[in-house]
Amino acid sequence: MPKDFLQGARDHYDCIVIGSGLAGLTAANTLARTGQSVLLLEQHYKLGGMATWFKRPGGHIFDISLHGFPVGMIKSCRRYWTQEIADSIVQLKNIRFDNPMFSLTTTFNREDFTRLLVEKFQVSAERVQAFFDTARGMNFYDDQSTTAGELFERFFPGREDIIRLLMEPITYANGSTLEDPAISYGIVFSNFMSKGVFTFEGGTDRLIHLMHEELLRSGVDVRIKCDVQRILVNRGRVAGVQVNGRTIGARAVISNANLKSTVLKMIGPEHFDRSFLDEAEAVRLNNSSCQVYMALRPGEMLDESLGDLLFSSTAPLFRTDLLLSRDVTSRTYSFYYPRTRPGSDRCLVVSSTNARYEDWAGLSDEAYEDSKRDLVESTLEALGRYIPDIRQKLDHAEASTPRTFRHYTRHLQGASFGTKFEGLAVSRALPEQIAGLYHAGSVGIIMSGWLGAMNYGVIVANDVDSWLMKSNRQTPLATAT
Amino acid sequence: MSPPEIKEAILDILESIAPDEDVTNVKDDVPLREQLELDSMDFLDIVMELRKRYRVQIPEDDYVQLATINSTVEYLAPLMKDLQKA
Ligand SMILES: Cc1cc2nc3c(=O)[nH]c(=O)nc-3n(C[C@H](O)[C@H](O)[C@H](O)COP(=O)(O)OP(=O)(O)OC[C@H]3O[C@@H](n4cnc5c(N)ncnc54)[C@H](O)[C@@H]3O)c2cc1C
């Protein structure tokens, strides 16, 4: 008999959370701490969603999405997780750019960007300050018609090199383009590019392990290998979920799965207004990624002057559409030294590029394997520019593609960064369509990335807690028991 | 709870939210944002703590009432008057 991953699970919870990405994990923990009973269901055998890692023979551990996050993670981890987790967050101080327009190293904070823009790019300090203040001052209520491209044109007319410096990292971090609203750029920029880039000491495996322990302490019922088939709705109210052949009831459900698959597949169009459905269908997904993972032989060291994060490109100009092309000219390298996992003797490199699902989806198995081999080869080739003897030092290399991301996270088209801007409004409007049903996960660029996903989990947990308290008062049955 | 007790309760929550700041010197009539480094997540945390500790519900439209200590106490007084001090 197959193992029953729901053994001992109750028939009813206050809230069921579908998916254990950082938004789902944080929502589950926050709600359980307020005293609600919470069931967390994850289809994969590991928690974490895209905050994940994998191991290979020889003791290599690769992180998938641990390139860097903003300083705000420290506060959020302390508040919504534990002091121990917050204390493991450390700064990455060497962020490099290398492209035909400029080569430089920065600590990636406001002071250093100001210094570079004034000294290297010859912009006046007043202009730089005005740009930073404008980006920082942007919020949700601002007009959404101005694009990021227009914002740059206003402050740095004709300066493609400056656009590249200020935009390339954000494009890599969340797939946004010059055509996206300036406000989503502004909000991400002021979070991300004003106080440095940070990482988690001990790696993603340690983070997720610590989170798992904390979830159990908070009383969350955590279940892996539980693929939710349907979210059940009864007279406009959420009733529970169908999972692994069982029906489990809940007064509230939070889906951390992809927004579009939540609405269109797990619930089904018949439960929504036509206009809401139109909006949900029109939500654009963000692009996906390709990565190449390279592990050096035990004890082989990399020179730390390579930096922690390197935005490298051979394209003469910065064009967001070029970044998605399979004819790769731009790569972001994360260099991991033994200090990433204190006590280890390993150096690793992960190369990431943005990619389109369509370019990989249709390939035959054979063509797919060939393309992956090509990707590894061309990446080693490109990396040779920075580490000439990379092939001699190498112990293991392999690639992932949009198909890999799609397989492991069930995101439509393997989307790495959730949805475009319009996804946020659809995500927020879900409970107006079906009482007790919520979505928390990467949407709208602002709410994506490790920090965005975590904070969105908290925002939604607050809504759910509030709603559970209200609906408790309204149902006499619940108060009688 | 009386207004002074409510004020004490708020300061207690602020202290847990901003452990690095000295909340005893916070002025009652100056916006909290100008005295402490608070962002929108911090205000959300205040709302969550009030619900957890005292079961008071603050709708999103009313978050603006939490601008200063005085305005917060004034807003919460009718909602918390029947509660016993925790
Ligand atoms: C290659 C790459 C690099 C990245 N680098 C960074 C970085 O350096 N810094 C940063 O801040 N961010 C980075 N990100 C983005 C960041 O990882 C994500 O934004 C964030 O982890 C997303 O969290 P989430 O909560 O939205 O959900 P996800 O991580 O997408 O998790 C959703 C979860 O739901 C589960 N699920 C889906 N359907 C079901 C179902 N029916 N039943 C049960 N479970 C289900 C999935 O298995 C998954 O575990 C990167 C992303 C990628 C792909």
pLDDT at B66: 93
C-alpha dist (Å) from residue A366 to A345, A371, A373: 36, 9, 11
Angle subtended at Cα A238 by Cα A481 and Cα A214, rounded to the nearest 5 degrees: 75
Q: Looking at the partner chain, which of B17, B41, B52 has a beta carbon nearest the beta carbon of A34? A: B52
- Look at residue A477 and tell me whether its pLDDT is greater than 50: no
pLDDT at A143: 67
Q: Are A204 and A64 in contact (CB under 8 A)?
A: yes
Return the ligand 1 atom nearest residue A67 CA: 8
Buried-state track A233-266, b at ≥16 Cβ within 10 A, e below 16: beeeebbbbebbeeebebbbbbbbbbbbebbbbb
Number of Cβ within a 10 Å radius of residue A202:
18
Q: Which residue segment(s) compose the domain that B39 sits in?
A: 3-80
pLDDT at A473: 66
**Superfamily for domain range A12-45+224-284+417-470:** FAD/NAD(P)-binding domain (3.50.50.60)
Banded pLDDT at A1 (limits 50, 70, 90): low
Comparing A12-16, A376-380, A417-421, the range with the smallest average pLDDT is A417-421
Establish if B61 touches chain A: CB-CB under 8 angstroms: no
What is the pLDDT of chain A when averaged over all its residues? 92
Beta strands in A93-130 (DSSP E): 95-98, 103-106
Phi, psi of B73 (to 5 degrees): -60, -45
Banded pLDDT at A481 (limits 50, 70, 90): very low
Establish if A469 touches chain B: CB-CB under 8 angstroms: yes
Q: Tokens standing for A39?
A: 């069931």
Phi, psi of A462 (to 5 degrees): -65, -45
Q: Tokens standing for B70?
A: 């005085």
This prediction has a pTM of 0.94
- Taking CA atoms, what residue in B is nearest to A467? B57
Phi, psi of B83 (to 5 degrees): -80, 150
Element (DSSP H or E) covering residue A351: strand A348-355
Helix boundaries (H) for A283-352: 320-324
Q: Tokens standing for A297?
A: 């032989």
CB contact under 8 Å between B44 and A462, yes or no, is yes
Comparing A120-129, A458-467, B19-28, the range with the smallest average pLDDT is B19-28
Buried-state track A95-127, b at ≥16 Cβ within 10 A, e below 16: bbbbbebeeebbbbbbebbbebbeeebebeeee
Q: Tokens standing for A407?
A: 């397989």
CATH number at residue B54: 1.10.1200.10
Architecture of domain A53-91+198-205+287-409 in this structure: Alpha-Beta Complex (3.90)
A–B: how many Cβ contacts below 8 A? Answer: 26
Q: Is the dihedral of CA B53, B57, B60, B61 positive or negative?
A: negative
C-alpha dist (Å) from residue A472 to A464, A466, A478: 12, 10, 6
pLDDT at A480: 35
Q: How far is A462 from chain B (nearest CA, A)?
A: 6
How many domains, in total, are found in chain B?
1
Domain ranges for chain A, please list them.
Answer: 12-45+224-284+417-470, 53-91+198-205+287-409, 109-195
pLDDT at A142: 63
* Whole-complex ipTM: 0.90
pLDDT digits (tens, 9 = 90+) for A64-77: 999 999 999 999 99
The reply to whether B86 falls in a domain is no
pLDDT at A475: 52
pLDDT at A476: 45
- Look at residue A324 and tell me whether its pLDDT is greater than 70: no
pLDDT digits (tens, 9 = 90+) for A230-261: 999 999 999 999 999 999 999 999 999 999 99
